[in-house]
Structure 1
Amino acid sequence: MPTEKNLSVSNRRKFIKQSAVTAAGFFIVPRFVLGGQGYVAPSDKVNIGIIGAGGKGRQNAVDLMKLDDVQLTAIADPGNYWDLANFYYRSIAGRGPVKRLIEEHYQNKTDTFKVAEYLDFRRMLEKESGLDAICCSTPDNTHAYITYMAMKAGKHVYCEKPLTHNIWEARMIKKLTEETGLATQMGNVGHSTDGIRETVEYLRGGVIGEVKETHSWVPATRWLPEVKAMPTHNSRKPDGFDWDLWLGPTPHREFHDWYSPVTWRDFWEFGCGALGDFGCHDMDAATWAFELGYPETVEVFPAGFSNENITPYGEIGYYHFGAKGNLPPIKLTWYSGGVKPPLHEALPSGYQWTGRGTLFVGDKGIIVNEGGNRAPKVFPERVASNLKVPKPIIPRSKGHFRDWVDAIKGGPKSSANFEYGAHLTEITLLGVLSLRMKGQKIHWDAGNMKATGLPEADQYIKESVRSGWEMV
């Protein structure tokens, strides 16, 4: 039998999978296999496939290429070219441009480097046996299916937030993560900042006393504010765009340029509105600090126009979490579309809320995270001036992608792994469920995954999918 020392990097993974040998009724397994499913030796490069090459996919590819022990070897996207100059990505994206971007990067060292290119990510998973992991940056409606199929194929997975489009999918991904032990990371990148860790430590350390109330607000609103009905005619599809594949598990409807790129977030079939976009970011610190379980009730009201197909301009919502251990009940209030909480009396004269932020109200003072920054600011001044900074108790992150790649190589779990990410996603999607139920209060029966007394909510808790796109 060949030894590990004699194996080339290129065929080592194949050897790992084939080198269990029967001897006297036992399996003799090489020591380096014991890292678990999908184990990658610390000395190896991690081969990653990009699924979804739009604006966020392009950004994620750029960030992954900064890691010397990562190699992007394959790309899959049903769209070949997107001009995103008019969106916040300010870039040219799509399968073709991102493929060229990756090849140009690696050809600086290897002239002949080529990226394998696919429209259908399923063909990529079948053909690219050398892939260790995938990075999913598609619209929300395909997150769960892509993640599920990749993990079933033994691949480690990074997936954008929200992790899934409905609550049943979140439970399925959490279960599969626990079963496989694969390295996972959700794309709520603020989770890996020092600021959020400091905020959690301040809250757990009692800097502002007992906290019973938190608020989170974002300026996000609809991309297409004038739209109040679904389109009644088709648009011409971009060249090289496989619309049916882009739809994935979602029931078929004809293409319209309102749906792609980016503006898909305005439609419930594809996105989850502002709450779905930002909830996993801006409710993260509270969920982490207080180890929030499932809310007892959720009630989220749309601000401005919305209907069964189209997301609202804004939202205001109320989550109620019961007492847990020594922690009191907590009320979490959510705002989007420019709605903000009242200014708190502990704030200094003339203070104004930033467009985005988080507020924690304790019986000794308040903590504010301004903007997208998670760093804690303590008020009033008398509390801040006597502040004893808590001892750091949470390991600092080396970077959101770095932590995931280290986990692939046998390091500790990344902190936004899917076990945590699926729970945070479910909390977020319970608010989306209330929105889709026109603001009805959800009394959540977590054990049975039911909105008590609202059987009509079942269609959103577990959505129907097209034949051939079932998660089985």
Structure 2
Amino acid sequence: MKQSKYSRKEFVKGMAIAAAGFMIVPRHVLGGRGFLAPSDKITVGIVGAGGKGRQNAEELLKLKDVQITAVADPAKYWDLKDFYYKSKAGREPVKEMIESHYKSTNGNYRINEYIDFREMLEKESSLDAIMCSTPDNTHAYVSIKALRAGKHVYCEKPLTHNVWEARKVREVALETGLATQMGNVLHSGEGIRQTVEYLRDGAIGKVEEAHTWVPASRWNPGLKGLPAGPAIDEQSIGWDLWLGPTPYMPCHKEYVPVTWRDFWVLGCGALGDFGCHDLDASVWAFDLHAPESVEVLPAGYSDANIAPYGEIGYYHFAKNGNQPEFKQVWYSGGLQPPRPELLPDNVELPSRGSLFIGKKGIIVTGAGGSNPRIFPERRRERYNPPKPSIPRSNGHFRDWVDAIKGGPAASSNFEYGARLTEITLLGVLSLRLGGKKIYWDSENMRAKGLPEADPFLREPVRSGWEMA
């Protein structure tokens, strides 16, 4: 010990503890890289402060053992009153919201703000974790960069923008052993657990087919292809950082702040937006991995640049080990499956949900596999639900925080999240190819006989933004 760093009192205290057979050591020595004791308060940096970033930050503020200490976003301000977020977002409003929350107990509380999240990772060495709520095209880069910096990561869905990224993020997460969670929050609900348990228990007999639909359509209904109007001020929103690894393209008002989802180079359309929510019950219940084939047909105008108004898609999973032969049909843009005969006349299909067709009945659910209902009614009345077999969630964000502190892995960690994302993105790939049917070679990450798919399976990135 150096005399200048330790007082006599501290030295005596340390010797007494050692003599009693104890030694106090840093938490990373006890638990390894990224370890946090259950009693610790974790520090989180927000990456991406748009509408979803603000919502996610609000959820973290509810957790007493979490402290948000930094926020990073290239855009200072967004007015989202005309979008479903109905809020003000961007770096400054989100920073103000966080500081206002903590000032109730600490009047001088301040958080640091950054334009570039990479600077945040470099300067905020005390950060335990980051929450990524950026557009789809930067999810993989942010997640990989943070994991390699030793930070636990929560990332919005879809986990990545292409299949190669999904596999790379999963690989890095497994290498680092850090706690991860994908932001498909409905995965942590009670309803989807009941649905999965009913299906596994044979509540409606053997199930070989499911139909899933969402009402989501395009944000820019009248646009065909890329916008041709004048570019907006790119400096005001930090467009270069916004693009991240995506090759440069001029910014137009049709891209921001939320409508980027319509464009393949930035988002993944309705299927990419909702697939990780609404295909989840099928993937989870039947342990689906690689589909044998995928064909998703556009409804309405679409092209190589812009997503369609709606879609209808067909996934076929061949029997392989624990994976049964299974057909999954997907609909968006207001399209729905034919009304099942077993559905009573006084019961309507929900605007968003899933239909599982079994040999002895059907199950109809709400969004993300929630609220399962068994039909016909006589089947439901006679059915004795099984005891819960899936661990119940304490909350999507709570489960991630508990995993950081050494608890069980969050149930939508990147190992599962990457698999669900890859299945979703294969449907997006079919759409990007104009609705071509894909025969999937999972082992070699290849669409058989479709070399034109290769640039979408692993997209080119700008120099300096490599993820390999």
Asked whether the two chains share a fold, i.e. TM above 0.5, the reply is yes
1:113 Cα deviation (Å)? Answer: 1.0
Asked if 2 retains the 8 angstrom alpha-carbon contact of 1:273 and 1:312, the reply is yes
Q: Secondary structure at the match of 1:316?
A: strand
**What secondary structure does 1:196 align onto?**
helix
- State the shift of 1:44 in Å: 1.0
Q: CA offset at residue 233 of structure 1?
A: 3.5
The TM-score, its normalising length taken from structure 2, stands at 0.93
Equivalences for residues 109-128 of structure 1 within 5 A? 109-128=105-124
1:409 to 405, 410, 423: 405
Question: Residue in 2 aligned with 1:269?
Answer: 265
Tell me whether 343-352 or 210-219 shows the greater mean CA deviation. Answer: 343-352
- In structure 2, the partner of 1:257 is 253
Query: Which residue is equivalent to 2:150?
Result: 154
The residue that corresponds to 1:13 in the other structure is none
- Which of 183, 188, 197 in structure 2 is aligned with 1:187? 183
SS in 2 for 1:131: coil
**Are 2:232 and 1:243 equivalent residues in the alignment?**
no
The amino acid across from 2:246 in the alignment is T
What is the CA-CA distance between 1:107 and the residue it aligns to? 1.1
- Go from structure 1 to structure 2 and tell me whether the alpha carbon gap of 1:29 and 1:130 turns closer, same or farther (over 3 Å shift): closer
1:60 matched residue in structure 2: 56
Give how far 1:387 is off: 1.0
CA contact (8 A) 1:36 1:181 kept: no
Greater CA drift, 46-55 or 105-114:
105-114
The correspondence of residues 206-221 of structure 1 with structure 2, limited to 5 A, is: 206-221=202-217
Alpha carbon RMSD of aligned pairs, Å? 1.6
Map of 1:277-296 to 2, 5 A cutoff?
277-296=273-292
Tell me by how many angstroms 1:241 deviates. 1.9
| Cα distance in structure 2, aligned partners of 1:193 and 1:58 | 21
Task: Quote the residue 1:38 is aligned against.
Answer: 34
1:72 pairs, out of 68, 79, 100, with: 68
Cα distance in 1 for partners of 2:245, 2:136 equals 11
Structure 1 letter corresponding to 2:352: R
- Look up the match of 2:13: none
SS at structure 1 position matched to 2:43: strand
Confirm or deny that 1:447 pairs with 2:443: yes
Q: Work out the number of aligned pairs and report it.
A: 448
Displacement after TM superposition at 1:272 (Å): 0.2
Per-residue deviation, 1:326: 6.1
How many angstroms does 1:34 deviate by? 3.9
- Deviation, 1:373, is 6.0
1:97 is aligned with what amino acid? P
Structure 2 alignment gaps of length 5 or more: 7-23
**CA distance in structure 2 between the partners assigned to 1:271 and 1:429 by the alignment:** 11
Question: C-alpha displacement at 1:375, in angstroms?
Answer: 2.1
**Aligned counterpart for 2:431 among listed residues 422, 425, 435:** 435
Equivalent residue runs for 1:327-406 within 5 Å: 328-371=324-367, 374-406=370-402
Mapped partners of 1:460, 1:408: distance in 2: 33
Instruction: Work out the CA distance in 1 between the residues paired with 2:186 and 2:411.
Output: 11
Q: Distance in 2 between matches of 1:277 and 1:326?
A: 28
Separation (CA, whole Å) in 2 of partners of 1:327 and 1:295: 10
**Conserved in 2, the CA contact under 8 Å of 1:32 and 1:41?**
no
**CA apart distance, 1:111:** 1.5
1:302–1:314 Cα contact (<8 Å) kept: yes
Are the equivalent residues in 2 in contact too, given 1:318–1:331 (CA < 8 A)? yes
Q: CA deviation at 1:419?
A: 0.1
Give aligned-pair identity as a percent.
64
**1:424 paired residue among 406, 416, 420:** 420
Residues 286-340 of structure 1 show CA distances to partners (whole Å, capped at 9, x for unaligned) of 1001000100000000000000000100010000001144664100000000000
Alignment of 1:130 onto 2:93: no
**Alignment-derived partner of residue 166 in structure 1:** 162
Residues 347-404 of structure 1: per-residue CA shift (max 9 Å, x gap) = 1124321110101111011111024561210000110110101110011000000000
Q: 1:306 aligns with which of 302, 307, 323?
A: 302
Name the CA distance, whole Å, in 2 between partners of 1:31 and 1:154: 14
Following superposition, which runs of at least 4 residues in structure 1 exceed 6 angstroms of deviation?
28-32
